[in-house]
Amino acid sequence: MNPFDVIDETCVTQFDDCADVIVVGLGIAGACAAIEAKRAGGDVIAVERASAGGGASALSSGLFYLGGGTAVQQACGYSDDAQNMYQFMIASMGSDNAQAVRQYCDQNVEHFNWLEQQGVPFERSCYKDKAVFLMGTEGLLSTGNEKVWPYRELARPVPRGHQVTGEGESTGNAAMQPLLQVCSELGVRGYYDTRVQALITDQSGTVVGVKTQQGGDTRFLKANKGVVLATGGFAMNPDMVQLHLQGLSATAEALGSAYSDGSGIQLGVAAGADTDAMQNYIATASIYPPGQLIKGIIVNESGQRFVAEDSYHGRTAEFIAKQSNQRAFLIVDSEIFAYPEIETARHQLIDGYETIEEMEQALAMPKDALVATLNQYNTAARDGVDPDFMKHPEWLKPLDQGPYAAFYISFSQSIYLYMTLGGLKTNANAQVLNSKGIAIPGLYAAGACSAHIPKSGASYASGMSLGPGSFFGRVAGRHIMSSNEDTP
């Protein structure tokens, strides 16, 4: 049940404050929306539930999925262009949002430049090995399925994970601090420790304001041009997770800030918004780094392979989630043996075995199943091919140097972290759509409270939250100031 209601403007006796634009939530999407609306001449209020802006964006690893020939790509010797990026995104993420994807790709270099102009730093250097995020300061790494078959044949593979230069794991903060600073310098007015509790609509259904709660104080804020919802995802709302993410393992752990509780989605739905991809999530417990583990094979409890092991970790997780009991094992030989380095994943070494027959028995697999899988894989790998899953030749080697080892990488034994991908349905102007596909006047959404472009873990690439979140936040801020007309 939706705990939020919509308030009819006629029930509001007096507004306590007024602005052209009200931005709800000051993470990456909200900050970018506020900056652009302010620069377009608007008076902007940002309402933020926490004591300061930042949200999950500040906790993040600071990876932005950007391309089309950014200065970092160029400095690192990669040739990318908008069309190449578009072809990859459409092939791997689907064509549902083709117009938004087109716009994202066409304007990506400009967007990268804009982020840098606001003070978001990206080093001109590249990390060439496989990693989930970087503890170093390199500005570029591969974070998606670009080199995974069939995508490598449909678009020229190039790295597009742009990592903000910062210290430690939460480099997202190095992006948020300058953006929040710009908001403050431009005069965006902030209401902090303040939660938006309802949208206010006029008789035509146009969103004209918000009701807020700060401690015991209730306020009504008028928005002359409209409201941008930028409140983040819903991984921290157990009721929504239970309702929507029915395929998610009970042992998976949510990623987000304490306030990633879906309130923006519920606020929008109360005002007539449609949602998209609410059942989808991206889970992660990467087997890499180190990259050499990709040369192993991943099998299910029947001893069969089911995914190309060089897939992006979110894609691998999605395939594991579809296996019987969501169980899987990583099998390596002594030549490539190493422990998986992502500590949060807690992939456990099961044991070492002199022979594959011994391993197969210990893992309670059907007799000869794993032996047959390994024989078939090794025969092809000696020829540098993987006809079953088309793993890239750079990750192929016969696994024939015993002893052998197996790791648990099941949902029940490892720790999978997840983020939600579903949210409010929006168009390429970041306008929120109703169930007829028509924009709700005065209502915009960006970031993780709107449905992501990649609608599954299999199609996700790291940086596809901060990249589009910042981009469509800007789109919302500009569009809201330029027009209030309905566009489908």
Ligand X SMILES: Cc1cc2nc3c(=O)[nH]c(=O)nc-3n(C[C@H](O)[C@H](O)[C@H](O)COP(=O)(O)OP(=O)(O)OC[C@H]3O[C@@H](n4cnc5c(N)ncnc54)[C@H](O)[C@@H]3O)c2cc1C
Rounded Cα gap, residues 422 and 449, in angstroms: 7
Our CB check for ligand X shows the closer of 192 and 337 to be 192
Are the CB atoms for 139 and 163 separated by under 8 Å? yes
Torsion of CA 75, 80, 82, 83, to 10 degrees: 170
Supply the minimum distance, in Å, between the C-beta of residue 85 and ligand X.
16
Tokens of 241: 């997770």
Closest CB to ligand X among 190 and 340?
Answer: 190
Distance between CA atoms of 422 and 278, rounded to whole angstroms?
A: 4
CB of 479 to ligand X, least distance (A): 17
Shortest reach from residue 297's CB to ligand X, in Å? 28
- Helix, strand, coil percentages for the chain (3-state, nearest 5): 30, 20, 50
- Closer residue to ligand X, CB minimum distance, 32 or 299: 32
Q: How far is the CB of 469 from ligand X (least distance, A)?
A: 5
Nearer to ligand X, 396 or 424 (CB): 424
Q: Alpha helices, DSSP H only, in 187-300? A: 238-244, 263-270
Instruction: Choose between 198 and 293: whose C-beta lies nearer to ligand X.
Output: 198
DSSP one-letter code for 365? P
Q: Cβ distance 443 to 432 under 8 Å?
A: yes
Q: Cβ 130 to ligand X, closest distance in Å?
A: 15
The separation between CA 281 and the C-alpha centre of its own chain, rounded to angstroms, equals: 9
Write the secondary structure of 74-141 as one string of H (helix), E (strand) and C (coil): HHCCCCCCHHHHHHHHHHHHCCCCHHHHHHHHHCHHHHHHHHHHCCCCCCCCECCCCCCCCCCCCCEE
The answer to whether 140 and 297 are in contact (CB under 8 A) is: no
Element (H, E) at 442: strand 439-445
Q: Minimum distance from CB of 93 to ligand X (Å)?
A: 14
Smallest distance, Å, CB 266 to ligand X? 9
Please check whether residue 229 is in contact with residue 445, taking contact to mean a CB–CB distance below 8 angstroms.
yes
Between 282 and 298, name the residue whose CB sits nearer to ligand X. Answer: 282
Q: Which chain residues interact with ligand X by CB under 6 A?
A: 24-30, 47-50, 53-57, 59-63, 172, 195-196, 230-233, 255-257, 259-260, 263-264, 419, 447-449, 462-466, 469
457 versus 463: smaller Cβ distance to ligand X: 463
End-to-end Cα separation, the chain, in angstroms:
28
Smallest gap from residue 191 Cβ to ligand X (A): 9
Closest approach, Cβ 27 to ligand X, in A, equals: 2
Of residues 69, 424, 416, the one with CA closest to residue 230:
424
Nearer to ligand X, 164 or 399 (CB): 164
Which C-beta is closer to ligand X: that of 211 or that of 479?
A: 211
